[in-house]
Structure 1
Amino acid sequence: MAPDILADPETDPTATYAVEPALVRRLTSRVVCSPRPEHRLTHTPVGGAPLASLPLSTPDDVAVAVEGARAAQRSWARTPMDLRERILLRYHDLVLERQVELLDLVQLESGKTRRQAFEEVADVALVSRHYARRAAGYLRPRRRAGLLPLATRTVEHHHPKGVVGVVSPWNYPLTLAVSDALPALMAGNAVVLRPDLQSSLTALKAVALLVEAGLPESVLQVVLGDGATVGQAVVDHADYVSYTGSTATGRRVATSAAARLVGCSLELGGKNSMYVAEDADLDRAAARAVGACFSNAGQLCVAMERVIVHESVADAFTECFVAAVQGMRLGSDLVYGFDMGSLVSAEQLRRVTEHVEDARAKGARVLTGGRARPDLGPFFYEPTVLTGVTAAMDVRDEETFGPVVSVYRVASDEEAIRLANDTDYGLNAAVFTRDVARGRRIAAAIAAGTVNINDGYGAAWGSTAAPMGGMKASGLGRRHGAEGITKYTETQTVAVQRLVPLSPFAGMSDEAFATVFTGVLRALKASRRP
Structure 2
Amino acid sequence: MAESAQQPRAARTGTGRAKVLTSYDPRTGEVVGDFAIMGAGELTRAVRAARTTEQWWAALDFAGRKRWLLDWKRALARGTRDLVEMISNETGKPRLDAAVEVTLAVEHLDWVARHAERTLSRTTRTATRFRRDRPGSIGQLPLGAVGVLGPWHNPVLAPMNSIASAMAAGNTVVFKPSELTPGVGAWLADSWNRLSPSQPVLQVVTGDSGTAAALCKAHLDKIAYTGSLAGAREVTALCAQSGTPLVVEQGGRGAMIVQVDARLDTAAAAAIHGAMAHSGQHPAGVHVVYVADSVYEPFLELVAEQARALRPAADRRASYGPMVLDAQLDVVRRQIRDALTRGGRAVVGSLESIREPYIEPVVLTEVPETSIAITGEAVGPVLVVNRVADMDEAVERVNAPERALPVAVFTRDVRSVPEFADRLRTGLVTVNATPVYGVNGPGRIRDPHSLLEFSRAQLITEQRHRDPLGTFDNHPQRLRMARALFRLRHRV
TM-score greater than 0.5 by the shorter chain = yes
Alignment of 1:69 onto 2:63: no
Normalised to the residue count of structure 1, the TM-score between the two structures is 0.83
Alignment of 1:104-503 (within 5 A): 104-146=85-127, 152-214=134-196, 217-227=199-209, 229-237=210-218, 238-333=220-315, 335=316, 337-371=317-351, 378-458=356-436, 461-462=438-439, 469=442, 480-503=446-469
The one-letter amino acid of 1:485's match is L
Equivalents in 2 of 1:500, 1:137: separation in Å? 34
Distance 1:362 1:415, change over 3 A: closer
Equivalents in 2 of 1:184, 1:132: separation in Å? 11
Distance 1:324 1:523, change over 3 A: same
Equivalents in 2 of 1:72, 1:351: separation in Å? 44
**Secondary structure of 2:343's match?**
coil
Distance 1:303 1:217, change over 3 A: farther
For residues 147-201 of structure 1, the C-alpha deviation after alignment (integer angstroms, 9 at most, x for no partner) is: 7569821311211111111011111111123221001001111111111111111
Equivalents in 2 of 1:455, 1:441: separation in Å? 18
Equivalents in 1 of 2:475, 2:305: separation in Å? 80
Structure 1 counterpart of 2:7: none
Equivalents in 2 of 1:140, 1:170: separation in Å? 34
Equivalents in 1 of 2:453, 2:139: separation in Å? 13
Structure 1 counterpart of 2:22: 41
1:219: Cα distance to partner? 1.4
Equivalents in 2 of 1:480, 1:252: separation in Å? 28
The one-letter amino acid of 1:355's match is Q
Comparing 65-74 with 341-350, greater Cα deviation is found at 341-350
**Secondary structure of 2:330's match?**
helix
Distance 1:492 1:96, change over 3 A: same
Equivalents in 2 of 1:519, 1:260: separation in Å? 51
The one-letter amino acid of 1:493's match is L
For residues 250-281 of structure 1, the C-alpha deviation after alignment (integer angstroms, 9 at most, x for no partner) is: 12322333444432111225351011111000
For residue 80 of structure 1, the aligned residue among 47, 50, 61 is 61
Distance 1:215 1:187, change over 3 A: farther
Structure 2 counterpart of 1:473: none
Query: Contact 1:99–1:121 at 8 Å: present in 2 too?
Result: yes
Distance 1:111 1:526, change over 3 A: farther
1:505: Cα distance to partner? 6.4
For residue 89 of structure 1, the aligned residue among 70, 75, 78 is 70
For residues 487-523 of structure 1, the C-alpha deviation after alignment (integer angstroms, 9 at most, x for no partner) is: 11111211111122253668x5254433322333343
1:331: Cα distance to partner? 2.3
Equivalents in 2 of 1:98, 1:479: separation in Å? 21
Alignment of 1:521 onto 2:486: yes
Query: Contact 1:431–1:442 at 8 Å: present in 2 too?
Result: no
Normalised to the residue count of structure 2, the TM-score between the two structures is 0.89
**Secondary structure of 1:273's match?**
strand
Query: Contact 2:468–2:478 at 8 Å: present in 1 too?
Result: no
Equivalents in 1 of 2:409, 2:195: separation in Å? 40
Query: Contact 1:70–1:162 at 8 Å: present in 2 too?
Result: yes
Equivalents in 2 of 1:365, 1:427: separation in Å? 25
Equivalents in 1 of 2:71, 2:491: separation in Å? 53
The one-letter amino acid of 1:308's match is Y
Distance 1:509 1:282, change over 3 A: same
Equivalents in 2 of 1:264, 1:361: separation in Å? 41
Comparing 78-87 with 303-312, greater Cα deviation is found at 78-87
Comparing 255-264 with 382-391, greater Cα deviation is found at 255-264
Distance 1:444 1:200, change over 3 A: farther
**Secondary structure of 2:135's match?**
strand
- Note the residue ranges of structure 1 that are not aligned, 5 or more in a row: 1-16, 18-36, 471-477
Query: Contact 1:178–1:203 at 8 Å: present in 2 too?
Result: no
**Secondary structure of 1:218's match?**
coil
Query: Contact 1:271–1:398 at 8 Å: present in 2 too?
Result: no
Query: Contact 1:343–1:380 at 8 Å: present in 2 too?
Result: yes
Equivalents in 2 of 1:526, 1:308: separation in Å? 53
Distance 1:127 1:151, change over 3 A: closer
Query: Contact 2:339–2:367 at 8 Å: present in 1 too?
Result: yes
1:213: Cα distance to partner? 4.9
**Secondary structure of 2:148's match?**
strand
Equivalents in 1 of 2:248, 2:133: separation in Å? 41
Equivalents in 2 of 1:42, 1:151: separation in Å? 58
Distance 1:501 1:297, change over 3 A: same
Equivalents in 1 of 2:70, 2:427: separation in Å? 29
Structure 2 counterpart of 1:9: none
Distance 1:66 1:505, change over 3 A: closer
1:86: Cα distance to partner? 2.1
Equivalents in 2 of 1:157, 1:173: separation in Å? 32
